[in-house]
Structure 1
Amino acid sequence: MNTFKASIKSGIKYAAAAVLGLVCLAQSVSADTLSDIRQRKKIVIAIDLGSPPFGMTDDKLQPYGSDVSAAKMLAKDLGVEMEIIQVTGPNRVPFLLTNKADIVIASFSITPERAKVINFSVPYSASESVVGAERSMQIKSLADLAGKRVGVVRGNLQDTLLTPIVPKGTILVRYDDDSTNAAALLSGQVDAIGTAKELVTTTARKNPGRNIETKFSVKVVPHGIGVRKEDTALLAWINSWVVTNMKNGNLAKSYEAAAGAPLPDLSQYLPK
């Protein structure tokens, strides 16, 4: 079993324990973030609002997207108000570790590297990492990236996935967020981008004259809610909440409403 699958299965076992009663056990701790959230009646959630369809802003600068919907549901079920703090791919972990946010719901792909410093909930969402470009660009596989400029978000999942596997001669150009990465493709600064399939679809829809399309898939990776290692009670509550809302279909509905496509099957990650 590779380290990625091992980390996911470890999370599943933790979730199962949560469903069976870990919530009560963890809440015996006298001081924890879950108690603090309930006492202040507000949860601070870090969301990437430059990563459609997971997080975006409308013409009135109001946040929306599948992650925003999930965050609203979570806060409502916890019985508290929600405050959004905006993050980008590279600063999701630092904002969590420096207590600027209680949790992170930001198309946060579960990776072994990140799992070393934070905990992830049971997967509540997922994205397919792809390479996207204009239809006229002759790209069908990794080999075709040789000699091409490919944009990625610095330190993000696609950067991690593509860096060790792109062919010699590929130039990876790193940007700070998904919006800038997509803009680089539209302006011709790069020949292609490594990003989530959902972002390619959104970019194509907003720019119909550019004929942006997915060229090939790199990997499908589940998303988890990020929580600090010491916040065991909070993680237990979130795991139980995710399992409930995956089984009743609420999270799948919010994803499909934002993405315009069904949520990838995550049943293998749920406790039996």
Structure 2
Amino acid sequence: MSTSQPRRLLIATLAALSLGAVALQATAQSVADIKKKGELTVGMLVDFPPYGTLNSANQPDGYDADVAKLLAKELGVKVNIVPVTGPNRIPFLLTNKVDLLVASLAVTPERAKQVQFSKPYAAATIVVYGSTKAAIKSAADLKAFRIGVARASTQDISLTAAAPAGTEIRRFDDDASAMQALMSGQVDAIGCSTTVAAQIAQRAGNAFENKFVLRQQQMAVAMRPGQEELLKTVDAFIDKNRGGELNTLYKKWLGTDFPVMTAN
């Protein structure tokens, strides 16, 4: 080995360590960083009303949008809402495309290995919802039917875990696509939230019904691991507003009081 080789090795090692430090700094974003930037970039679903939707001006709206706006207001910064999908919302967060997610993201042990969750700011019930002609009373009955679900969603996880081996599960890009598949007869039932089921009922009358509950889920704001200061700030925001502004927003969009929930 020449004398220059150890030197090149040392330089390469230091460069790698330096890049690692930069990466850590990039992912360890603080509240001060957000305030300095003057903007909170939030990832949000826009196909999951009343939590996330688009208004008549094609702008993000819904409960999640209002929560994001309220959080940004308390931080004293502008809000920039970035539409995400069920499959890409966590990748968007982990690759620094957004500061955090207010994206109807249910708290699960699997997701908690990837992201850091705040205290819950919303809740939803996931059901199997299908044609009144489909004789589905429990998970055991699913094997005889075509069941749709939004890919990589909590309902996908819950349905996959509950369905017997051999069940035909058709996965779609989002809830809107799964909903359309049900209404057009491509599937006999879907796994969805009760809010999605209510939308279908408004359009299709009594053609469909709740079959059974898959799970109750709590939804939380998601951050990258290691953002302890940001986590404390978001948790304090939820604690402060649970009985006030968040309750007002919950009534506005979901027609009921903010639910009683325990921290995850």
TM score, norm. by length of structure 1: 0.82
Q: Which runs of 4+ in 1 moved over 6 A?
A: none
Structure 1 position 215 matched with structure 2 position 211? yes
- Aligned positions of 1:28-39 closer than 5 A: 32-39=29-36
Q: CA deviation at 1:88?
A: 0.9
Q: Offset of 1:262 from its aligned partner? A: 4.0
SS at match of 1:124: strand
Q: Which residue of 2 aligns with 1:148?
A: 145
CA shift at 1:60, angstroms? 2.5
Comparing 124-133 and 95-104, the one that deviates more: 124-133
Deviations 1:46-97 (CA, angstroms, capped at 9, x unpaired): 0000111110112331221111111111111111100010111111110000
CA distance in 2, matches of 1:213, 1:257: 25
CA distance in 1, matches of 2:29, 2:164: 47
Kept after mapping to 2: 8 A contact 1:33/1:102: no
Cα distance, 1:209 vs. partner?
A: 3.9
Q: Taking structure 2 as the reference length, what is the TM-score of the superposition?
A: 0.84
**Percent identity between the aligned chains?**
39
Please, which moves more after superposition, 33-42 or 81-90? 33-42
CA RMSD of aligned residues (A): 1.7
- In the alignment, what sits opposite 1:69? 66
Pairing partner for 1:243 from 232, 239, 249: 239
Q: CA deviation at 1:210?
A: 5.8
The DSSP-based 3-state class of the residue aligned with 2:82 is strand
SS in 1 for 2:81: strand
Look up the match of 1:184: 181
**Structure 2 counterpart SS, 1:123:** strand
Report the secondary structure of 1:121's partner residue. Answer: strand
The structure, 1 or 2, with the larger RCO (C-alpha pairs under 8 Å, 6+ apart) is 1
1:79-158 map, 5 Å: 79-158=76-155
Q: Give per-residue Cα distances to partners, 1:223-257, cap 9 Å, x unaligned.
A: 110000122211110011011111x2322321232
Q: Which residue of 1 aligns with 2:75?
A: 78
Matching residue of 2:263: 269
> Deviation per CA, 1:99-129, whole angstroms, max 9, x where unpaired?
0000000111001111111100001101111
Query: For 1:144 and 1:262, how far apart are their aligned partners in 2?
Result: 35
Give the Cα separation in 1 of the matches to 2:88 and 2:251: 27
Task: Give the corresponding residue for 2:158.
Answer: 161
Deviations 1:131-162 (A, max 9, x none): 11133332222122122111111111111112
Tell me whether 1:256 sits opposite 2:251 in the alignment: yes
Contact 1:148-1:169 within 8 A present in 2 as well: no
